[in-house]
Chain A
Amino acid sequence: MNNLVMFFILSGLILVFSVMTVLTRRILRSAVFLLFVLLATAGLYFMLDYMFLAAVQLTVYAGGIVVLIIFSILLTSHISERAAMAGKWPMIASAFVVLLGAGVTLYTIYSYVFKASAEPAIPSTMKSIGSHLISYGEDGYALPFEVISVLLLAVMIGAIIVAKKEVK
């Protein structure tokens, strides 16, 4: 029961701040709302016993991305600047499409009977996660782990190249 209450609080936060993120006209606020959403999501992960993931969510998402976003906002806009929204018709069209999509998707999800696996769960402790992460066998994630390092390297170079000021 507690969990349920907790869930409703968290999901309520998520949904409200999500909406506010996309609707508020102040960009910085929007970033802050996003931060709340991400934090609440982390809360969900905690609830589901995925501590490590929740930590990652907090550090990388809330700590990294949102900070990056806030920096860039500060770099490119004034605090007081109010962001414009799309015109009336794009809004209506987008809302229509989104509502339709959400409706169909929800309906489909709701009418689907999920089948749980009967096999016993494995613990999601730091230790097991760590060993999975460096394992290269069944259910091991060493390869993605390595590849993502290549990705990050490439992205680093790319971001530098793009953002670097031209030497005239």
Chain B
Amino acid sequence: MHQGIPLHYFLIVSTLMFFIGIFGFLTRRNLITILMSIELILNSVNINFVVFNRYLFPHKLQGHFFSMIVIAIAAAEAAVAIAIIINIYRNFRSIEVGKVDEMKH
């Protein structure tokens, strides 16, 4: 295929990255590392879009721009999340996710 690298290779990488991100989300106890896991997830999605665009549908730039938008949104999300995390830190004096469970049941 393109430049000798099969499409599936990219997809395997991105899929693994996606699930590693999810694993991180599920297991890290620190809110910021959870946020980083999300970045991993979004990054893997970006790879997908880009690769599909390049390999399969190069006649348009849909995947490409999708990735761009995702990057921008990831930034926005991170901004708000970090703002809230700082707020949490002020309120809880900790950014341990386990401690943020005042509301339950």
Contacts and interface: CB of A to CB of B under 8 A. Distances in A.
Interface of A: 1, 3-4, 7, 11, 14-15, 18-19, 21-22, 27, 30-31, 34, 37-38, 41, 44-45, 47-50, 53, 56-57, 60-61, 64-65, 68-69, 72-73, 75-77, 83-86, 90-91, 94-95, 97-99, 101-102, 105-106, 109-110, 114-117, 119-122, 124, 128-129, 132-133, 139, 141, 144, 148, 151-152, 155-156, 158-160, 162-163
B65 A144 contact: yes
Contact of A83 (B33, B37, B54, B65): B33
Contacts of A60: 71-72, 75
B89 to A, nearest CB: 5
A90 B69 contact: no
Contacts of A105: 15, 18-19
A124 B58 CA distance: 9
Contact of A27 (B24, B30, B82): B30
A34 to B, nearest CB: 5
Interface in B53-105: 54-62, 64-65, 67-69, 71-80, 82-87, 89, 95-96
A18 B22 CA distance: 11
Given A65-B39, A75-B86, A162-B80, A30 B71 contact: no
Contact of A148 (B4, B8, B23, B73): B73
Contacts of B55: 114, 116
B13 A86 contact: no
Given A22-B21, A139-B60, A83 B83 contact: no
Interface residues of B, number: 71
A27 B56 contact: no
Contacts of B76: 151-152, 155
Contact of B80 (A69, A120, A139, A155): A155
A15 B17 contact: yes
Contacts of A148: 69, 72-73
Given A53-B50, A86-B29, A162-B83, A109 B78 contact: no
Given A65-B78, A69-B39, 12 more contacts: A3-B3, A31-B32, A44-B10, A57-B71, A76-B85, A83-B29, A84-B30, A85-B27, A120-B58, A122-B58, A141-B65, A152-B76
